[in-house]
Amino acid sequence: MAKKRPQTKAERPQLSDAEIPVVGAREPCPCGSGRRYKACHGRAAAHAATELVQRPFEGLPGEGDWVALRELVPAATAELTLKDGLPEDVPSVTLATVLPMAWPALRRDDGSVLLGLQNDTASGDISRDLADTLRRALTAEPGTPVKGRRAPADGPRLQDLLDPDATFEPAVHSGFEFWIPDTENTTPEVSASLERANAAAIPTVRLIGVDAAYWCETPEKNHLRWVMPYPEEQLLDALARLHAAGRSSLGEGTRLVGSFRAHGLTVPVWDLPSGVTAEDMEKPAAEFAERLTAALASDAPLTAEERRARGGLTNRQVTLS
């Protein structure tokens, strides 16, 4: 009888942490440990997925406009400038509020890239998720959408990819026709998605004279929603001083009604009469910006009336993110 050869386990290739790909939480970890991914190298990814970045767009040019396009504006685009320049076969990169079929990104037939902003993200850092989608879109096959996925926990953020000195100038559109450069060759699915999106879009205009202020029209009344870069407590104090003094409106028939919280910034909201247009708001908004600057500079304790005004404003806050 032949002797049995001693059994030996084949050595598994050793991977560094940087080489271990992201897989499903219940799948075996690619490192070869024999444990599930979520109990091994997936722990860091799971932690990153639950750790919320309060101000994901902080440090980007036009932070207030990023917040507005993410939460408030139906149809808008903005050209993006990459820190290291565009690849030869990518003529342009454009941020868009929404893309057809809710795609995270799209590489068009001509090689240009559209990056969707109003998509659900897999982690607590929108900036990291968007950067991951953008990097994959730059190398995707022309004419194909980019699917969503969980970004690597150590992947770059938008702040790492975009030029910090470039301007960020959103263009607000009345509809989503920018989706389709060639309407004759589009698919029925995209045409149907375009029709649904246009039907739901609220008319919106970006003010020219102040930063990140957006007028919008609704059936009952119009509104001005203004994303402001100041610390929340300081801003609420300043708004309370103006409100108590009767100087928080934007003209006859307008009223400061509360604010949103969105991605670490505060967004005061005014009700406007239905006949008031975005153009009508340019001068009052510029004058209010001057009053607000003076109120922000005050460090005097709030009076009893100002504290009541502040309490009312705080009670009328709505958190969007």
DSSP per-residue codes, 239-257: HHHHHHTT--SSSTT-EEE
Tokens of 210: 């102040």
- pLDDT given for residue 142 in this prediction: 96
Task: Determine the distance from the C-alpha atom of residue 218 to the mean position of all C-alpha atoms in its chain, rounded to a whole number.
Answer: 23
Residue type, 297: A
Whole-prediction pTM: 0.83
Residue 260: its H or E element:
strand 255-262
Give the containing element (helix H, strand E) for 66. helix 63-71
What is the phi/psi pair of residue 169, to 5°? -120, 95
pLDDT at 43: 64
Q: Six-digit token pair at 258?
A: 């509360």
**Other CB atoms within 10 Å distance of the CB of residue 286:** 14
Cβ atoms of 87 and 77 closer than 8 Å? no
Calculate the CA dihedral of residues 24, 53, 66, 84 and round it to 10 degrees. -70
Phi, psi of 28 (to 5 degrees): -60, 140
pLDDT of residue 40: 78
Return the pLDDT at 10: 43
Give the residue ranges of the chain where pLDDT is below 70: 1-26, 37-38, 42-50, 183-185
Q: Burial, 268: exposed, middle or buried (Cβ in 10 Å; 0-12, 13-18, 19+)?
A: buried
Neighbours of 247 (CB within 10 A): 15
Structure tokens at 206: 């970006």
pLDDT in the model for residue 50:
52
Residues 225-243 have pLDDT tens digits of 999 999 999 999 999 999 9
pLDDT digits 0-9 by tens, 2-57: 444 444 444 444 555 545 666 556 678 878 788 876 677 766 555 544 578 999 99
**CB of 290 within 8 A of CB of 232?**
no
CA 261 to chain centre: 13
- The confidence score (pLDDT) of residue 101 equals 87
Where b means 16+ CB within 10 Å and e means fewer, 175-195 reads: ebeebeeeeeeeeeebeebbe
Query: Residue 197, Cα to own-chain centre: how many angstroms?
Result: 18
The burial class, CB within 10 Å (0-12 / 13-18 / 19+), for 220 is exposed
Q: Are 60 and 69 in contact (CB under 8 A)?
A: no
Res 9: pLDDT: 43
pLDDT of residue 44: 57
CB 211 within 8 A of CB 64: yes
- State the sign of the Cα–Cα–Cα–Cα dihedral 279, 281, 285, 286: positive
Q: What pLDDT does 183 receive? A: 64
Dmax (CA) for the chain in angstroms is 105
